Amino acid sequence: MTATDAPATTGTSHAKLQAWVDEVAALTTPDRIEWVTGSDEEWTALTNKLVEAGTFVRLDENKKPNSFYAASDPSDVARVEDRTYICSVDEKDCGPTNNWMDPEKMKDLMRGLYKGCMKGRTMYVIPFVMGHLEAEKPMFGVEITDSEYVVASMRVMARVGDKVKARIEELGDDAKYVPALHSVGAPLEDGQADVKWPCNPEKYIVQFPEERTIWSFGSGYGGNALLGKKCYSLRIASVMARDDGWLAEHMLILKLISPEQQVYYVAAAFPSACGKTNLAMLKPTIPGWKVETLGDDIAWMRFGKDGRLYAVNPEFGFFGVAPGTNEHTNPNAMSTINKGNSVFTNVALTDDGDIWWEGLENTPAHATSWKGEDWTPDSKELSSHPNSRYCTPIEQCDILADEYNDPNGVPISAILFGGRRKTTVPLVTEARDWLHGTFMGATLSSETTAAATGAVGVVRRDPMAMLPFIGYNAGDYFNHWVNLGKDADATKLPKIFYVNWFRRDDEGGFLWPGFGENSRVLKWVIERIEGKAAAIETPIGHVPTPESLDTDGLDMSDADLEQALSVDAEEWKAEIPQIEEWFAKFGDNLPTQLQVELDGLKARLGL
């Protein structure tokens, strides 16, 4: 069947959108076109189709209602940073931290890949909005994909369907939307049987920042394929934010309520698989304190009329790391997924129709691993991929804050930066001011994780936890942070802190128990903001005195606490050449203010 006679089940009255859909269909030649409505019937039809294809296994209705297990192709398990491009018109605008190719060259190359790539498949058109449909300027997108898995996941992760489409049509030419094209790149010849997880060894995840468009090819994995998430809400949105004076960040948003019923909102940027979801849904161990959640991965932050920085979570679901999640580390995530309506990818399937992963309670005597192999507790291999994920609706979260539904967002009191460092970086450090905090963010370092393909455990600079997500020159991005601080009322800006839950003792164990105990650090942060807690001034910033941190009931030796909080000048001196090398990458694009911060740090370290 050719594109011209591929019947569209519906279309749109929005001429420009229809023209793009037609153009893509002509190029990719799908057998069918379907517009995603967002209805329950559609979910049932899609998931049935996925079960029939073997991509999904329906889980036991009594254990995980309306939920599904999927195992990907073993080669398609994470974001592919080396295949991710920022195709700005001018190479300079892509900067030294992103891959670049001339946009026209990239389009030619990818048109070659897209040609006929949806043959034998259905092309789905997903109208979606990141953030609220009721926002002053709704942030629309339209994803075209040939993957039912992507459609099902997008329905969980973003607000999709008829209502969004109707609003785009109503706004007509005024409707700004990001066209996002995705294909798994696995056309089917007539009569060819499909595989459970179609994908292509050749992958491209491409952002065109000036055009605000996304082209993705070859992968079905979350961050590569659910294009509303990292591709739009961070890479494209960071460019929009630069142009319009706001911030699109890889941050969780939480609401903290003190025993005195004071409310504070905190945003925190940690690299992938470094603890955002867990902190966002934290169950405090200190009496009287309460946490509610607003978001676990992405924050869009704009200045309000009152001069404060307001954050909204543009997403509609959690796409969380499964291993390590359990009733102790994250009871709120557990109760969210136990309500069902979820998709689990690359975890283990138990014999009684449930899922399991490393770290979860009730280890099964036997299960099927993510690779489809027999697994028992004696197996040498992991049952679940380290980057296996649950995809679950945010509205099922028991501690979702009411403010999640406010398109204007919440005023942020503190921003935490954090990473995974075995050494050097103390449990918590307070920045002196916004600029110093920007320096902390710009020099943030972390050990790489399984969330991206490549080596795990290698220390790299991951500025603001945004290294793979800044849609333009990172030097310009630093400048944007500096400028926002310069133009703002300093008394209203969030206070910035740098945390590290992952420092190790001499035996290699974590010094700090983490998870719910992180509430102690949040309390110190709030008390610093309120001017109530003591701190020691060190070359890198203010760290708690051991007495200023609430350690009541904390099962930890004084020596370990001291080590967790310690600032070792020698370790920091060793850090300096790495920071210098990092900054040198940016040449003239590095804001002079950050160089001044570095010089100040060196001077304080006696260098």
Known binding positions: 79, 221-223, 230, 250, 272-278, 297, 387-389, 420, 515-518
Interface with ligand GTP (CB under 6 A), residue from 161, 218, 317, 320: 320
Annotated binding residues for GTP, as ranges? 273-278, 389, 420, 515-518
Q: How far is the CB of 487 from Mn ion (least distance, A)?
A: 28
Give residue number: closest CB to ligand SPV: 223
Residue at 187: amino acid letter: P
Cα–Cα distance, 589 to 600 (Å, whole number): 20
Annotated binding residues for Mn(2+), as ranges? 230, 250, 297
- Specify the residue for token string 């991005």: 477
Told to judge if 274 belongs to the known catalytic residues of this protein, a careful annotator would answer: yes
Which letter does DSSP use for residue 515 in this model?
G
- CB-wise, 144 or 499, nearer to ligand GTP? 499
Residues in region 268-287 near ligand GTP by CB under 6 A: 270, 272-278
- CB-wise, 481 or 515, nearer to ligand GTP? 515
Helices marked H in 384-512 = 434-442, 474-487
Q: What does the binding site for Mn ion look like in residue numbers (CB under 5 A)?
A: 272, 297
- Packing angle, helices 237-244 and 474-487, rounded to 10: 40
The yes or no reply on residue 510 touching ligand GTP (CB under 6 A) is: yes
Q: How far is the CB of 222 from ligand SPV (least distance, A)?
A: 4
**What mask of x and - would describe binding to ligand GTP in positions 101 to 120, judged by CB under 6 A?**
--------------------
Q: How far is the CB of 229 from Mn ion (least distance, A)?
A: 8
Are 520 and 550 in contact by the 8 Å Cβ rule? The answer is yes
Cα–Cα distance, 116 to 49 (Å, whole number): 22
Q: What does the binding site for ligand SPV look like in residue numbers (CB under 6 A)?
A: 79, 222-223, 229-230, 272, 297, 319, 451
DSSP for 353-421 reads: S-EE-TT-SS--SSEE-TTS-EE-TT-SS-SS-TT-EEEEEGGG-TTB-GGGG-TT-EE-SEEEEE---
Beta partners for 99? 85
List Cα–Cα distances, 16 to 41, 177, 373, in angstroms: 28, 11, 48
Interface with ligand GTP (CB under 6 A), residue from 103, 179, 314, 323: 323
**253: CB partners within 8 A, 6+ apart:** 265, 266, 267, 280, 293, 294, 295, 299, 311, 312, 313, 410, 412
Q: Which among ligand SPV, ligand GTP, Mn ion, none contacts residue 336 (Cβ within 5 to 8 A by kind)?
A: none
Where would I find the beta strands (DSSP E) of 80-188? 84-86, 122-130, 139-145, 159-160, 177-183
Are 474 and 97 in contact by the 8 Å Cβ rule? The answer is yes
Question: Which entry of 94, 199, 274, 391 is annotated as an active-site residue?
Answer: 274
Q: How far is the CB of 16 from ligand SPV (least distance, A)?
A: 29
Q: Which among Mn ion, ligand GTP, ligand SPV, none contacts residue 270 (Cβ within 5 to 8 A by kind)?
A: ligand GTP
- CB-wise, 88 or 325, nearer to ligand GTP? 325
- Measured distance between the N- and C-terminal CA atoms of the chain, rounded to whole angstroms: 70
CA atoms within 13 A on the CB side of 354: 14
State how far Cα 511 lies from the chain centre. 26
- CB-wise, 336 or 368, nearer to ligand SPV? 336
Q: Choose one: 3-11, 322-330, 392-400, 480-488; the region binding ligand GTP (CB under 6 A).
A: 322-330
- Packing angle, helices 434-442 and 474-487, rounded to 10: 170
List Cα–Cα distances, 102 to 7, 183, 206, 587, in angstroms: 35, 21, 11, 22
Q: Choose one: 172-180, 208-216, 266-274, 533-541; the region binding ligand GTP (CB under 6 A).
A: 266-274
- CB-wise, 297 or 597, nearer to ligand SPV? 297
Q: Which among ligand SPV, Mn ion, ligand GTP, none contacts residue 24 (Cβ within 5 to 8 A by kind)?
A: none
- CB-wise, 120 or 185, nearer to ligand SPV? 185
Q: How far is the CB of 444 from ligand GTP (least distance, A)?
A: 13
Which two structure tokens, joined as six digits, stand for 346? 């690359």
Q: How far is the CB of 228 from Mn ion (least distance, A)?
A: 13
**Count of C-beta atoms within a 10 Å radius of residue 419:** 24
Q: How far is the CB of 322 from ligand GTP (least distance, A)?
A: 9
Which positions touch ligand GTP (CB under 6 A)?
270, 272-278, 296-297, 320-321, 323-324, 329, 451, 501-502, 510, 514-515, 518
Residues assigned a catalytic role: 274
